[in-house]
């Protein structure tokens, strides 16, 4: 049994550390996934007010869960605080199993994000993984006597504490400077226009048109090829999904650059030759007070002849930040485009992100913490 517990302990501990670190390079990704869960539960009519409030703090929950996952995995490997860690491990895996079972059986969420965006797993894969982990956690929980610490308690506590600080530091770093590893569709080298197209081999959804008619107070549904006679009164027309398609969602979806007049300028902007810059603003109010580096970058880019555009879902708030002005004796009016907030969350993993573009291809990206290093 000692060997079994040791194997279970090392497998679980290593997997927890790996899972936590994979998500730590992009904590916003887990936060957005948490918001999906909160929204799905709220739409089901379950504690809407509370879930809406929890959704507002999803990033904080994400940072906490990621840090806890790494700390628990490391403590398990070291044999530190075995009773507390064993119960915490069991509770976490039980919670994860509930989430993955909800994803699998409800169909309301496509994936749980257990390993972030870099290692996508299907719902059945994540649920199977958690069932195996749950069995391993039970073995560990009921056989704690076989867990032996590898050093003195004070040494182990110091290691876990330093690892916790390092994990927190990593997460705050990437939220300012962008993820160390970019696994999203807007990564460097990707062609945005190509990824907006339907994937090769896509199978579209199949729909049928249903017509609702009534007669003598009775309502009935009819198909387009079997409509009733004129004695029936038309009530409604409905489109029903007959068969769901496959692989029919582009990697970059709902990404449209819209002017203040509602004009779609996506192709015009992304198809232009030469180098230009896109400044994505996800949350202007989250930036530090007095932050002005984006304005300096805009002025410098325009001064050197590079087109510079702002992309945001907060048009009214952002428009006041870039008023028309004079640069080198000529009037400059920075174009501000509105884009879907979800698309911006994918494109900008920091509150403000600058893209260097050449045509539709991403050449370079900088989070707001790196704006001082940008040169034109």
pLDDT tens digit sequence for 48-84: 777 777 778 899 999 999 999 999 999 999 999 999 9
b (16+ CB within 10 A) / e for 200-214: eeeeeeeeeeebebe
> Average of pLDDT values for 116-145?
91
**pLDDT attached to residue 148:** 92
Q: Is the pLDDT of residue 35 over 80?
A: yes
Q: Which residue has the higher pLDDT, 341 or 198?
A: 341
Q: For position 198, what pLDDT does the model report?
A: 82
Does the pLDDT value for residue 327 go beyond 60? Answer: no
Q: Residue 328 pLDDT more than 60?
A: no
CA end-to-end span of the chain, whole Å? 63
- Could you tell me if 73 and 12 are in contact, meaning their C-beta atoms sit under 8 angstroms apart? yes
Residue 299 has pLDDT above 70, yes or no: yes
Helix pair 27-43, 48-56: axis angle to 10 deg: 170
Rounded to an integer, what distance in angstroms lies between the CA atom of residue 337 and that of residue 279? Answer: 10
* pLDDT-derived band at 265, boundaries 50, 70, 90: very high
**Which fold does the domain 252-373 belong to in CATH?**
Glutaredoxin (3.40.30)
87 compared with 217, residue with greater pLDDT: 87
CA distance 212 to 237: 6
Closest CA to 10 of 66, 74, 96, 67: 74
Contact in structure between 172 and 180 (CB atoms under 8 Å) = no
**245 has a pLDDT exceeding 60:** yes
| Domains of the chain by residue range | 2-177, 206-243, 252-373
pLDDT of residue 102: 87
Q: How many residues does the chain have?
A: 376
What per-residue confidence (pLDDT) applies to 250?
A: 87
Nearest to 23 by CA among 159, 172, 134, 171: 171
More confident residue, 333 or 222: 222
Q: What is the pLDDT of residue 325?
A: 60
Chain mean pLDDT for the chain: 89
pTM for this model (two decimals): 0.84
Does residue 344 have a pLDDT over 70? yes
Confidence of residue 146 (pLDDT cuts 50, 70, 90): very high
CA angle at 136 for the pair 133 and 139, rounded to the nearest 5°: 155
Structure confidence at residue 157 (pLDDT)? 96
d(CA 89, CA 94): 9
The pLDDT, as a whole number, for residue 324 is 66
Query: pLDDT tens for residues 156-170?
Result: 999 999 999 999 999
| pLDDT digits 0-9 by tens, 195-236 | 998 877 767 777 888 999 998 888 998 888 889 888 898 999
CB atoms within 10 A of CB 330: 9
| CB contact at 8 A, 5 and 140 | yes
> What separation in angstroms does the CA of 303 have from each of 58, 155, 298, 324?
40, 57, 8, 14
Looking at residue 331, its pLDDT comes to 55
């Amino acid at each position: 049994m000692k060997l079994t517990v040791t194997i279970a302990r090392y497998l679980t501990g290593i997997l927890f550390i790996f899972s936590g670190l994979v998500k730590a390079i992009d904590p916003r990704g887990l936060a957005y996934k948490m918001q999906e869960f909160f929204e799905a539960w709220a739409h089901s009519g379950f504690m809407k007010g509370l879930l809406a409030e929890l959704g507002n703090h999803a990033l904080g929950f994400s940072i906490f869960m990621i840090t806890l996952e790494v700390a628990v995995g490391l403590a398990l490997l070291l044999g530190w605080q075995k009773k507390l860690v064993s119960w915490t491990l069991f509770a976490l895996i039980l919670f994860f199993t509930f989430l993955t079972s909800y994803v699998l059986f409800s169909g309301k969420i496509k994936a749980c994000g257990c390993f972030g965006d870099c290692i996508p797993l299907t719902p059945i894969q994540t649920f199977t993984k958690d069932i195996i982990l749950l069995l391993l956690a039970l073995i560990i929980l009921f056989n704690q006597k076989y867990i032996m610490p590898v050093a003195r308690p004070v040494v182990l506590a110091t290691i876990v504490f330093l690892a916790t600080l390092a994990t927190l530091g990593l997460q705050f770093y990437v939220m300012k400077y962008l993820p160390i590893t970019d696994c999203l569709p807007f990564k460097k080298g990707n062609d945005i226009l190509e990824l907006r197209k339907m994937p090769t081999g896509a199978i579209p959804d199949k729909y049928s048109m249903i017509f609702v008619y009534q007669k003598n107070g009775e309502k009935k549904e009819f198909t387009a090829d079997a409509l009733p006679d004129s004695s029936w009164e038309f009530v409604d027309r409905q489109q029903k999904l007959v068969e769901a398609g496959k692989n029919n969602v582009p990697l970059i979806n709902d990404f449209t650059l819209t002017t203040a007049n509602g004009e779609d300028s996506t192709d015009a902007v992304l198809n232009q030759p030469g180098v230009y810059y896109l400044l994505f603003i996800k949350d202007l109010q989250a930036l530090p007070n007095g932050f002005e580096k984006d304005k300096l970058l805009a002025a410098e880019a325009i001064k050197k002849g590079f087109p510079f555009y702002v992309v945001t879902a907060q048009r009214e708030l952002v428009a006041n930040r870039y008023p028309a002005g004079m640069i080198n004796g000529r009037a400059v009016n920075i174009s501000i485009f509105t884009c879907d907030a979800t698309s911006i969350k994918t494109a900008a993993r920091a509150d403000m992100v600058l893209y260097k573009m050449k045509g539709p291809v991403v050449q370079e990206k900088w989070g707001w913490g790196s704006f001082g290093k940008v040169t034109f």
